[in-house]
């Protein structure tokens, strides 16, 4: 009998690689094997510790206050700042929205003002907490429009959001103007620096031109920054900072309304593994300020070289001059971006398709890591080949009957049988070779993505939820 760990390694070999700098979304790779080992060992050492009660596990409390302190130092925070380590960017965003809502119990139907490019985590928060999102279109450079955002603020607004940078386009919103407009009206302003928060301060230090966005900006009341992105920590940590303890207070939850221990939580989780916090603490300690500066130099060199290479390719263009380590690429009419993604995958590179949105065409997303730097030439060669292959392949066509169906129908009117039929037609289930009741994921996603891209937002959401439902049926004996 093969042991479980051997089996795990076999299973894992089918996943996207988390090292090697060729996976340009989902994972962030320092390229330093020692750092990965230290993070992994720290996670393992604390896998059984419980962050539920900081008095029972004082080492976790100490690590948390130190990690929050390091984040505060990096982000120009005043002495008054406080913070919490959460499980990820989404939890940081959820808590920022929840705290803003609960700071205003008198506001009956609370709202938050978001640039249209804000991360979907805010829509999740809206859904969970009943805070209405007021979406404000961004400018032609995909940066938020501060005047339009100011105009959208009203008596019901409990939170205003800016990104540093936005995930989809990698640009930093004009935080100074947005935060000033919020402060003038006494509204909280959250800067979502989940992806850029640990790398942008070093970009500034390296002399790159980054608009102000930290606590140095007056009116910024909270900032989220993920450690499991550009702090290169193992998955499962983010930091949510509030400018003052008063601003954080509504985030905390206590309950004595039951006969067990008095529940006292700073996050959405209660029992939580000490592993991710220990992993992040160990990686932060090991890299230190100098380590992060070196990694920032590497990642920005990679970004600049990728950008220069893309500028040489007539079929591709960078959507908006990136402020950070993310690139969004568009194609001209000669090739389909989803096919380019497939062709990259066939060459061992994962780049992420982004659907068309609000009149802008579909794009290709790259989250560049420090580990990509030694492979930039290979990346550009693969991209050139992928583009040539996509040009040769021609446009992706969607069956007109399917297109009409998904374009015209209200997903709320569809039955489970309708979804079965649609998922089959879309190529998302029942592909050749799949056993009874088993899903076979298509190797090439261009056709599926083209179909999803035609669907309305509501239909795309419903289709993918139906897909996930079928994907996650239990494996029984």
Ligand X SMILES: *Cc1c(COP(=O)(O)O)cnc(C)c1O
Q: Which is nearer to ligand X, 167 or 467 (CB)?
A: 167
Minimum Å gap between C-beta 224 and ligand X is: 7
Task: Classify 33 as helix, strand or coil.
Answer: helix
Minimum Å gap between C-beta 239 and ligand X is: 11
Q: Give kind and range of the element (H or E) at residue 135.
A: strand 132-136
Determine the residue with CB nearest ligand X.
89
Q: Which is nearer to ligand X, 229 or 470 (CB)?
A: 229
Q: Helices 446-454 and 337-346 meet at what angle, rounded to 10?
A: 150
Count Cβ atoms below 10 Å from residue 341 Cβ, excluding itself.
Answer: 25
Q: Which is nearer to ligand X, 36 or 226 (CB)?
A: 226
- Tokens describing residue 399: 């069956």
**Cβ burial 258-269 (10 Å sphere, 16+ → b, else e):** eeeeeeebbbbe
Which DSSP symbol is given to 364?
E
Measured in degrees and rounded to the nearest 5, phi and psi for residue 474 equal: -65, 150
Minimum Å gap between C-beta 103 and ligand X is: 21
**Cβ burial 37-50 (10 Å sphere, 16+ → b, else e):** ebbeebbeebeebe
Minimum Å gap between C-beta 55 and ligand X is: 28
Residue 306, judged by CB atoms within 10 A of its CB (0-12, 13-18, 19+), counts as buried
Minimum Å gap between C-beta 292 and ligand X is: 18
Minimum Å gap between C-beta 238 and ligand X is: 6
Q: Which is nearer to ligand X, 119 or 143 (CB)?
A: 119
Helix-then-strand count for the chain, H and E = 16, 13
Q: Which is nearer to ligand X, 110 or 236 (CB)?
A: 236
In the block, tokens 């930091």 appear at: 239
Minimum Å gap between C-beta 226 and ligand X is: 5
Minimum Å gap between C-beta 373 and ligand X is: 21
Q: Which is nearer to ligand X, 121 or 406 (CB)?
A: 121
With beta carbons less than 8 A apart as the criterion, state whether 276 and 234 touch. Answer: yes
With beta carbons less than 8 A apart as the criterion, state whether 365 and 328 touch. Answer: yes
Going from the C-alpha of 390 to that of each of 156, 343, 383, the distances in angstroms are 49, 7, 10
Measured in degrees and rounded to the nearest 5, phi and psi for residue 385 equal: -65, -45
- Interface with ligand X (CB under 6 A): 88-90, 93, 119, 121, 163, 167, 192, 194-195, 226, 238
Q: Helices 376-393 and 275-311 meet at what angle, rounded to 10?
A: 60
Minimum Å gap between C-beta 25 and ligand X is: 10
Alpha-helical segments (H) within 197-265: 200-205, 245-248
Minimum Å gap between C-beta 255 and ligand X is: 25
Q: Which is nearer to ligand X, 238 or 331 (CB)?
A: 238
Q: Which is nearer to ligand X, 179 or 396 (CB)?
A: 179
Q: Which is nearer to ligand X, 125 or 387 (CB)?
A: 125
Minimum Å gap between C-beta 90 and ligand X is: 3
What is the rounded CA–CA span in Å between residue 181 and residue 87? 31
Q: Which is nearer to ligand X, 225 or 387 (CB)?
A: 225
Task: Classify 328 as helix, strand or coil.
Answer: strand
Q: Give kind and range of the element (H or E) at residue 83.
A: strand 82-86
Q: Which is nearer to ligand X, 94 or 373 (CB)?
A: 94
């Amino acid at each position: 009998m093969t042991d479980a760990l051997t089996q795990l390694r076999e299973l894992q070999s089918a996943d996207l690689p988390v090292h090697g700098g060729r996976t340009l979304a989902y994972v962030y790779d320092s390229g330093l094997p020692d750092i990965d080992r230290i993070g992994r060992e720290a996670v393992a050492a604390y896998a059984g510790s419980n962050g539920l009660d900081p008095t029972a596990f004082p080492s976790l409390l100490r690590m948390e206050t130190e990690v929050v302190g390091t984040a505060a130092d990096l982000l120009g925070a005043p002495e008054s700042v406080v913070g919490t380590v959460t499980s990820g960017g989404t939890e940081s965003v959820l808590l920022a929205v929840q705290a803003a809502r609960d700071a205003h119990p008198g506001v009956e139907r609370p709202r938050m003002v978001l640039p249209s490019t804000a991360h979907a985590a805010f829509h999740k928060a809206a859904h969970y907490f009943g805070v209405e999102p007021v979406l404000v279109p961004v400018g032609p450079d995909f940066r938020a429009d501060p005047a339009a955002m100011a105009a959208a603020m009203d008596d019901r607004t409990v939170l205003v959001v800016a990104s540093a940078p936005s995930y989809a386009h990698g640009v930093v919103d004009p935080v100074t103007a947005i935060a000033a407009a919020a402060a003038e009206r006494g509204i909280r302003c959250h800067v979502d620096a989940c992806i850029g928060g640990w790398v942008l301060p070093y970009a500034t230090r390296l002399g790159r031109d980054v608009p102000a966005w930290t606590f140095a900006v007056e009116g910024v009341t909270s900032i989220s920054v993920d450690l499991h992105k550009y702090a290169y920590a193992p998955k499962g940590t983010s930091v949510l900072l509030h400018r003052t303890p008063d601003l954080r207070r509504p985030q905390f939850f206590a309950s004595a309304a039951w006969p067990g221990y008095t529940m006292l939580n700073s996050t959405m989780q209660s029992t939580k593994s000490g592993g991710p916090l220990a992993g992040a603490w160990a990686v932060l300690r090991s890299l230190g300020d100098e380590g992060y500066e070196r990694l920032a130099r590497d990642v920005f060199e990679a970004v600049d070289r990728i950008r220069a290479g893309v500028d040489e390719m007539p079929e591709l263009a960078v959507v908006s001059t990136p402020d950070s380590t993310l690139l969004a690429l568009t194609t001209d009419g000669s090739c389909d971006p989803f096919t380019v993604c497939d062709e990259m995958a066939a060459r061992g590179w994962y780049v992420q398709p982004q659907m068309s949105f609000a009149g802008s065409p579909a794009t290709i997303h790259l989250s560049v890591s420090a580990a990509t730097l030694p492979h930039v030439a290979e990346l550009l060669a693969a991209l050139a080949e992928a583009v040539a292959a996509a040009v040769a392949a021609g446009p992706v066509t969607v069956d007109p009957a399917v297109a009409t169906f998904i374009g015209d129908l209200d997903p709320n009117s569809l039955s489970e049988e309708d979804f079965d039929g649609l998922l089959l037609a879309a190529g998302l289930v029942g592909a050749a070779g799949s056993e009874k009741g088993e899903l076979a994921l298509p190797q090439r996603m261009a056709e599926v993505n083209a179909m999803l891209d035609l669907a309305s937002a509501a239909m795309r959401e419903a289709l993918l939820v139906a897909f996930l439902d079928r994907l996650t049926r239990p494996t029984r004996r």
